[in-house]
């Protein structure tokens, strides 16, 4: 992670839950929250990885919890939120980051594939808002940040299921914000464009392009050609936007989507 010399305690004393926390944006966010003074519950479907990350981030003054969480399971959400309340007595911040990517022409996409993408990317956010919001209501409010995508704003041919699920996250965010505002709960989203994460490099097309172009660096350059800033974001740059929305600095911000896209959706 890029070294940050400033530690200002922007979420000091708060309790946060970050889904998809074992890698990429989720890990960067959990790490930043710990550094800024929060107690962080790191959740991911990858059991060994999430336990390792939580252990790596924990310190004498930075307790962490690790949860194996399938965000499509309502029971899993109920159990995770209950355990956080039992351990720390409150939930102040929820980052619904867990998601999957998927690319296939619409007419070749099976109904099972479509449902799998929407189950993780949209149903998982719904369940997080439902159960995280209920916990925050009991303890006086909080901030929910949902990770959408620039593909929920600007369509990407060949990724209809992904685009539709992420567009749904943006509208769900706005609706939930209006419903939960009377309880002191803010709900916002961020919409990154391409981010340098393991998810991208694990995609079959990335290996194919690397073989064709000769290096991963050449692939990143090709993928970034439509981004005005001519690069992908680092996960830490997305985490900084999430931190702002999670902290009290944004206490008058709700129902807002923050594009973190280098100008891609301009």
Distance CA 146, CA 137 (A): 18
Q: Any residues with CB less than 8 A from the CB of 244 and at least 6 apart, and which?
A: 250, 258
- Let me know: does 93 contact 38? Beta carbons within 8 Å: yes
Question: Which residue is catalytic, options 67, 102, 126, 162?
Answer: 162
Distance CA 163, CA 157 (A): 9
Give the alpha-carbon dihedral of 200, 204, 206, 209, to 10 degrees. -170
- Please give the helix or strand (H or E) that residue 225 lies within, else none: none
Told to judge if 162 belongs to the known catalytic residues of this protein, a careful annotator would answer yes
Distance CA 98, CA 10 (A): 23
- Let me know: does 39 contact 62? Beta carbons within 8 Å: yes
DSSP, residue by residue, 65-117: EEEE--TT-HHHHHHHHHHHHHHHS---EEEE-------B-GGG--HHHHHHH
Distance CA 43, CA 217 (A): 31
Q: Whose CA is closest to 24, among 247, 236, 261? A: 236
Residues belonging to the active site: 162
């Amino acid at each position: 992670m890029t070294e940050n010399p400033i530690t200002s305690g922007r979420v000091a004393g708060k309790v946060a839950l970050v889904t998809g926390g074992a890698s990429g944006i989720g890990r960067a966010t959990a790490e930043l929250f710990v550094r800024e003074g929060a107690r962080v519950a790191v959740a991911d479907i990858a059991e060994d990885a999430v336990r390792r990350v939580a252990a790596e981030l924990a310190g004498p003054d930075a307790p962490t919890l690790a949860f194996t969480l399938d965000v499509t399971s309502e029971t899993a959400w109920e159990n995770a939120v209950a355990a956080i309340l039992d351990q720390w007595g409150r939930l102040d911040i929820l980052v619904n980051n867990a998601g999957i990517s998927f690319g296939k022409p619409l007419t070749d996409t099976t109904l099972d594939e479509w449902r799998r993408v929407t189950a993780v990317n949209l149903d998982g956010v719904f369940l997080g808002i439902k159960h995280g919001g209920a916990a925050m209501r009991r303890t006086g409010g909080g901030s929910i940040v949902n990770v959408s995508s620039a593909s929920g704003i600007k369509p990407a041919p060949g990724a209809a299921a992904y685009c539709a699920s992420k567009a749904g996250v943006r509208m769900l965010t706005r609706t939930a914000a209006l419903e939960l505002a009377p309880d002191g709960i803010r709900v916002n989203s961020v919409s990154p464009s391409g981010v340098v994460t393991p998810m991208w490099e694990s995609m079959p097309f990335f290996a194919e392009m690397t073989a064709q172009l000769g290096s991963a660096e050449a692939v990143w350059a090709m993928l970034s050609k439509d981004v005005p800033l001519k690069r992908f974001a680092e996960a830490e740059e997305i985490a900084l936007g999430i931190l702002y929305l999670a902290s009290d600095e944004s206490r008058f911000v709700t129902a807002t989507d923050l594009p973190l896209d280098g100008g891609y959706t301009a």
